[in-house]
């Protein structure tokens, strides 16, 4: 045992900014891979989780989003096995994922991780890419059910493995994202967009433009919270008990209701001025407010890109705070009307605001889909530990995650 060489220290330093912890992770991965699958060779892969920074609930109506990969990642040791069957085991799970590439269908693979892998492989085959059997041992630090896309991180890792072994690196990260989306849409029956997958695949902060649904634009932008002297902290406030699917679907439906009153299908095809001219034609007040959020949020995203270009960290954070306030007040996705007494998002935002008021710095906002789950806080690095301790009193230390943006997306670790 122990014959597999792990990535060199300089490679790990480039990805993780350190070598001690990452070296230990990859060593453990190599040992477990060799023990499980008896290979004496392995290639290593990494795919990060993601954070949505600004552009809350606008993608479905052709809006723009700034998202970024984070320094919590999924890693894998893998090697082709010479068959047409994929074998994968994830650390902490006893059940092995087994996918026969000759039997891909939604009838054969109906749920769970097997279905996700099958869906990715079916997409690749339909698009004319090569697939093949491989063995893989996977470990992750991307927290499940914390709004940082643990499933998309895993999907992008699988894409990176298949791209490296069977396609000579031909697939761009946009194809990774579409493969992951296909797996979720077709095999998981989940109405997933492309934002999660694109952010996990591309690496670093990106600007996504959904105005052309056939050709989603993705451009890298250059910033980090650390450069602003800040730390990003994600807080998992506790899962709501209600089924939130109706709450989530009401947002695009009501935005399209407002769009229809303006004579268009999606809000991106019209303007705030046109919306204001039609306010009296829309009986649903919340639909008007949500449409107003869309137009102002799109404007904020554009302004945030300018702030990055001007190295205006203060202005950038102010726009993030405005976005969060708009999500709370206009978009209204911080608690569910099914149980309006359960308000873990808004309570956690209020508790955080008390802390930020005391130190006189920082911003907080709902993170991701909302209604229940996760908030974001960006505050000075020197106050981050105190904030973690403070919020741990209310949600538990295991639910408070300091993190950074990382520049490396879903890749083969050379």
Q: What is the pLDDT of residues 54-80, one digit of tens each?
A: 999 999 999 999 999 999 999 999 999
User: What pLDDT score does 32 carry?
Assistant: 96
Handedness of CA 36, 5, 200, 242 (dihedral sign): positive
What pLDDT score does 1 carry?
52
Residue matched to tokens 């520049």 = 407
CA angle 91, 72, 61 (to 5 degrees): 115
Q: What is the mean pLDDT of residues 3-7?
A: 91
pLDDT higher than threshold 90 for residue 209? yes
Residues sharing a CB contact under 8 Å with residue 182, sequence separation 6 or more, in sequence order: 119, 120, 122, 123
Share of the chain above pLDDT 90, in %: 86
pLDDT tens for residues 30-46? 999 999 999 999 999 99
pLDDT of residue 241: 64
The fraction of the chain above a pLDDT of 70, given in percent, is: 98
* Cα 217 to Cα 32, 54, 123, 174, 293, distances in angstroms: 39, 16, 21, 9, 22
Per-chain mean pLDDT for the chain: 94
The residue with greater pLDDT, 367 or 192, is 367
Domains defined along the chain, listed by start:
9-223+407-413 (3.30.230.10), 226-403 (3.30.70.890)
pTM of the model: 0.90
User: pLDDT digit string (tens) for 212-266?
Assistant: 977 889 999 999 999 999 999 999 998 776 678 889 889 999 999 999 999 999 9
The owner of tokens 């105190």 is 386
| Adjacency order of strands within the sheet including 400-403 | 363-366, 374-380, 230-236, 400-403
Q: Are 256 and 266 in contact (CB under 8 A)?
A: yes
Mean of pLDDT values over 144-153: 79
pLDDT for residue 147 is more than 80: no
Q: Tell me the C-alpha to C-alpha distance, in Å, between residue 161 and each of 135, 156, 412.
A: 10, 9, 7
Of 337 and 239, more confident: 337
What's the mean pLDDT in 373-390?
A: 97
Beta-bridge mates of residue 395: none
335 — pLDDT class (breaks 50, 70, 90): very high
Please state the φ and ψ torsions of residue 4, each to the nearest 5 degrees: -80, 130
pLDDT at residue 193 in the model: 75
The predicted structure's pLDDT at residue 146: 64
CA atoms in the 13 A half-sphere facing the CB of 23: 10
Residue 275 — φ and ψ, nearest 5°?
A: -60, -45
């Amino acid at each position: 045992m122990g014959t597999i060489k792990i990535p060199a220290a300089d490679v790990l330093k480039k990805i993780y900014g350190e070598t001690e912890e990452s070296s230990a992770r990859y060593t453990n991965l190599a040992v477990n891979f060799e023990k499980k699958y008896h290979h004496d060779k392995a290639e290593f892969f990494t795919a990060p989780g993601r954070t949505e920074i600004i552009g809350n609930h606008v993608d479905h109506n052709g809006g723009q989003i700034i998202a970024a990969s984070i320094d919590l990642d999924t890693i894998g040791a893998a090697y082709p096995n010479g068959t047409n069957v994929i074998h994968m085991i994830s650390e902490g799970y006893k059940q092995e994922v087994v996918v026969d590439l000759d039997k891909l269908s939604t009838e054969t693979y109906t749920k769970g991780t097997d279905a996700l892998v099958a869906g990715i492989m079916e997409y690749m085959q339909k698009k004319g890419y090569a697939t093949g059997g491989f063995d893989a041992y996977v470990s992750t630090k991307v927290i499940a059910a914390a709004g940082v896309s643990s499933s998309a991180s895993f999907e992008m890792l699988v894409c990176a493995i298949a791209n490296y072994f069977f396609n000579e690196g031909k697939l761009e990260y946009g194809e990774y994202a579409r493969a992951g989306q296909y797996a979720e849409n077709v095999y998981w029956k989940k109405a997933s967009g492309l934002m999660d997958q694109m952010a996990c695949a591309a690496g670093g902060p990106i600007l996504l433009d959904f105005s052309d649904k056939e050709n989603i634009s993705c451009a890298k932008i250059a910033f980090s919270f650390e450069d602003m002297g800040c730390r990003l902290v994600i807080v998992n406030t506790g899962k709501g008990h209600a089924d939130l699917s109706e709450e989530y679907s009401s947002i695009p439906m009501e935005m399209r209701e407002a769009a229809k009153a303006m004579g268009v299908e999606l809000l991106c095809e019209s303007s705030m001025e046109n919306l204001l001219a039609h306010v009296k034609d829309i009986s649903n007040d919340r639909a008007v407010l949500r449409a107003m959020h869309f137009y102002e949020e799109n404007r904020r995203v554009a302004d945030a890109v300018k702030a990055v270009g001007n190295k205006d960290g203060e202005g950038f954070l102010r726009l993030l705070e405005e976005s969060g306030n708009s999500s709370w007040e206009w978009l209204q996705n911080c608690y569910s009307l099914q149980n309006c007494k359960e308000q873990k998002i808004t309570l956690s935002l209020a508790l955080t605001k008390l802390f930020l008021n005391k130190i006189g710095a920082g911003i907080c906002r709902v993170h991701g889909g909302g209604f229940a789950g996760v908030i974001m806080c960006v505050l000075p690095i020197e106050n981050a530990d105190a904030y973690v301790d403070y919020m741990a009193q209310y949600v538990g230390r295991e639910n408070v995650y300091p993190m950074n943006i990382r520049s490396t997306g879903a890749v083969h670790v050379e």
